[in-house]
Chains A and B, each alone.
Chain A
Amino acid sequence: MSEVHAQTVAYVRDTMLDQREPPLSQSGAYKWIHENLLSSWVNVVLTVASLWVIWAVLSHVVPWAALGIWSADSLAQCREIRDQIYGADASVACWAVIGERWNQLLFGFYPTELYWRPILAFVLFLVAIAPVLFASLPRKMLWFTLAAPFVLFWLIWGGAIWTPIVVALGFVIGWAVVTFAGPAIGALGGVVLAIVAPLLYWLLVAGPLADALATVLPIGLEPVKSNEIGGFMLATIIGVSGIILSLPLGIVLALGRQSDLFLINKCSVIFIEVIRGVPLIVWLFTASLLLNYFLPPGTNFDLMLRVIIMVTLFSSAYIAEVVRGGLAALPKGQYEAADALGLDYWKSMRLIILPQALKISIPGIVNTFIGLFKDTTLVVFIGLLDPIGLSNAIRASTQWNGIYWELFVFIGLCFFVFCFSMGRYSLFLEKKLRREHR
């Protein structure tokens, strides 16, 4: 081809020019910098300002953190080492406190030789929650998810294995009542019986049964008391159990708020608004100062349980709003289709509406959890030793009296890592849901 052309049309170019490098202003680092940092004078100003901010922060923090002293027994020793190496007016961190007390910040006063239990519990928790969070996992795993609360409780608090089993049995009874007795006495009667029977069982049978089994077959782990639990473990337990326990209540409240029944509707609305209108710290003080007033005289159970109850009530109001959002986001056709199939209210909710609404709500629930997890730091005001409470306790020991930033930096970083990864997950899920809904 080229030969023919070369003879007929002399001025047509017969070879391609070599591709040239783009001009310097349009390529590589130069272009990137120009476009992203210096495209206009406003941007130049912003870039310079940003660089200044970054420099101002890093120039203080990096030397302080990087030169930190890791091996010392006390703050005084830290200061001696610093004087020797850097001179007396240098400002360096004393990370030795973290080195010595990290386990307290993570586990509280949980016995050191039993650390495997909370760690195993945490791993099992992740396994249990995985099928809920990632739809690609086998559905069979959900059975483990159902059993997990009891297993985790047993692992963390120890004691006879029979207590969680006996309590779990109550749910089995409830389920059996619905499945077997339900058809015989009608749906409503079944539901009522399914609530009453386990309650009676728990109140009257469960305690003696667990004791009897424990004496016959004493299998169990060494019991650990609630006041030995602290640090991030406490924050996680309160956060996780608060969210999980509040889910059923939250769903009920959300349904109540959507209900046509005047009284139920109003009660749900009042409950949700009252809980949401008052700060968590007031509820926590209520748990610590007032809950004992509301219960029968002489009743007494530990502060952690009271806090979990209060946090559960608190987060159920927030969960209710999230679930309500999920319910509202469902197309009306779904409700109508369920009606058209002749399903009654509970069946349509259970089989059609809630599975879809809850799926949409998962990111919101995860976000509520992040918020709650962060808010567990407020328990410091009622004397529970969460990470911040422990940092106060650690500073009260004679070795570490006077240390300040190191503990807060460590605690802040731990919270950040945890919450940030949860937040990323919920973002990922939101994007995925948005794709699926298109």
Chain B
Amino acid sequence: MTTMTDPPGQGFRLSQLIYDTRYRSLTIQVVAMVLLMLLFSWLVSNTIHNLQNLGKDFDFGFLTQPSGYDINQRLIEYNSQMTHGRAALVGILNTILVAFLGCALATVLGVVAGVLRLSNNWLVSRLMSVYVEGFRNVPLLLWIVLIFALMTESTPAPRAFRGDDATASMLFDAIAVTNRGVYTPAIHFGTPFFANGFFNWLVVILVLGASLYAIRRLHHWATERQEATGDRPTTWYFTLGLLILPTAILMVLMSAYLNLPELKGFNFGGGIHLRNSLIALWLALSLYTGAFIAEIVRGGILAVSKGQTEAAYALGLRPSTTMNLVILPQALRVIIPPLISQFLNLTKNSSLAIAVGYMDVRSTLGGITINQTGRELEGMLLLGLFYLVLSLLISGAMNIYNASVKLKER
């Protein structure tokens, strides 16, 4: 400190660290930092000690060992001889799948229920209130369990489809609704381009995407024409053709055919099997979150003042145009921020999948793997990290969208 006394007049005194507002914030931060570091090192040293006492180590090697258990729903190839890491990956994909499906359906349900709750039909609005209050005020876990049980109780078992005196039959001879899930036809390729099915679908999606882009360009062109000449060229048959033809040609080239589910042995075989655990979890998550979204949507619509609607009518806009161009854009600004947190909640709530035996990442990595290997510290760490990253990604993406619809103040 003695070297610091050189500047004339006001020298730096130690007490300034506390009493001078210029330095005080620095002092506080340093103290906080030190305390935080102490806390962390204390926790870490405890952990090391405890691990030593238990004779355990901190090692992610278990991820490369064979898992030994089977998973029913797998979006990538997997069997019980593959590794724990692979099992975790299967779980991760399942989590993402149900979260994605859930967010989509919850939004639809929420918007419908929110609008219907404002309906002037007394019965409908009351019914929607019952739905919203019923789902908001009962724990999600209970709903998941109840919906799962309800679905198994109310749909026929595959054996009901069997024999001459079958008590159940397939819809259009193509879709079978059973209490093990829904079996729908699948599209298979007779002469696929690639041996790996995934790449074939990638091609289909790419072609479809290109079609959609072309349609967008077409509409753009039509609008420009309309602005230039006042006439809008008729485009609907182009649109239709662009939408269907390229994909259809591709399908013919790969000789696509429908693989219908049929009763084989104990179960239906063929087709796509949407398991009950997925459907129940999906429905429960969507209905539960939908109830919250309904309230958000209702609030958002009510927040747009009536004068806006009246002004739009005065301009001669039709009700549908009014909704699309005037009400919704304004309501969206109110709706989106809370909607993001609902999406996040839904994603996190998908970790309750174990209640219906849906093999999400919590059930594979955070459940069976931890249980079989005894690696709870490593497993939980990975699990926490995964959810954290997923949450950050979702909120990041949604925030970008939010910024794009936000009121641009000039």
Contacts and interface: CB of A to CB of B under 8 A. Distances in A.
A and B bound? yes
Interface stretch (A68-76, A134-142, A411-419): A411-419
Interface stretch (A125-133, A152-160, A258-266): A258-266
B122 A36 contact: yes
Interface of A: 32, 35-37, 39, 43, 46-47, 50-51, 53-54, 186, 188-189, 260-264, 267, 273-274, 276-282, 285-286, 289-290, 292-297, 370, 374-375, 377-378, 380-381, 388, 404-405, 408, 411-412, 415-416, 419-420, 423
Given A274-B388, A295-B46, A415 B138 contact: yes
B28 A276 contact: no
Most buried by A among B24, B32, B380: B380
Contacts of B351: 279, 281-282
A378 B352 contact: yes
Interface of B: 18-19, 24-25, 28-29, 32-33, 36, 43, 46-47, 49-51, 53, 116, 119-124, 127, 133-134, 136-142, 145-146, 149, 344, 348-349, 351-352, 354, 362, 366, 370, 376-377, 380, 383-384, 387-388, 390-392
B146 A408 contact: yes
B50 to A, nearest CB: 5
Question: Which applies to chain A's interface (DSSP): helix, strand, loop or mixed?
Answer: helix
| Pairs of residues from A and B, 10 with the lowest C-beta to C-beta distance, nearest first | A36-B122, A277-B391, A419-B137, A279-B348, A374-B139, A277-B388, A279-B351, A263-B29, A377-B139, A289-B376
Nearest to A54: B127
Given A277-B390, A423-B133, 18 more contacts: A37-B123, A39-B121, A43-B121, A47-B121, A188-B18, A261-B25, A261-B29, A277-B387, A277-B388, A277-B391, A277-B392, A278-B348, A278-B391, A279-B387, A282-B366, A282-B384, A285-B380, A289-B380
Contact of B51 (A32, A289, A293, A375): A293
Contacts of B380: 282, 285-286, 289-290
B47 A293 contact: yes
A297 B49 CA distance: 7
Contacts of A286: 380, 384
B283 to A, nearest CB: 16
A294 B145 CA distance: 34
Contacts of B133: 420, 423
Contacts of A279: 348-349, 351, 362, 387
Contacts of A381: 354
Nearest to A48: B123
A296 B32 contact: no
Contacts of B139: 374-375, 377, 388, 415
Contacts of B149: 404-405
Contacts of B136: 419, 423
B146 A282 contact: no
B15 to A, nearest CB: 10
A280 B362 CA distance: 12
Contacts of A35: 120
Contacts of B53: 297
Contacts of A43: 119-121, 124
B13 to A, nearest CB: 15
Contacts of B33: 263
Contacts of A186: 18-19
A50 B113 CA distance: 13
A278 B384 contact: yes
A412 B387 CA distance: 29
A370 B25 CA distance: 38
A47 B384 CA distance: 47
A161 B145 CA distance: 43
A252 to B, nearest CB: 11
Given A46-B124, A50-B123, A388-B142, A278 B387 contact: yes
Nearest to B347: A279
Nearest to B352: A281
Nearest to B292: A371
Contacts of B36: 267
A304 to B, nearest CB: 19
A239 to B, nearest CB: 11
A50 B124 contact: yes
B6 to A, nearest CB: 28
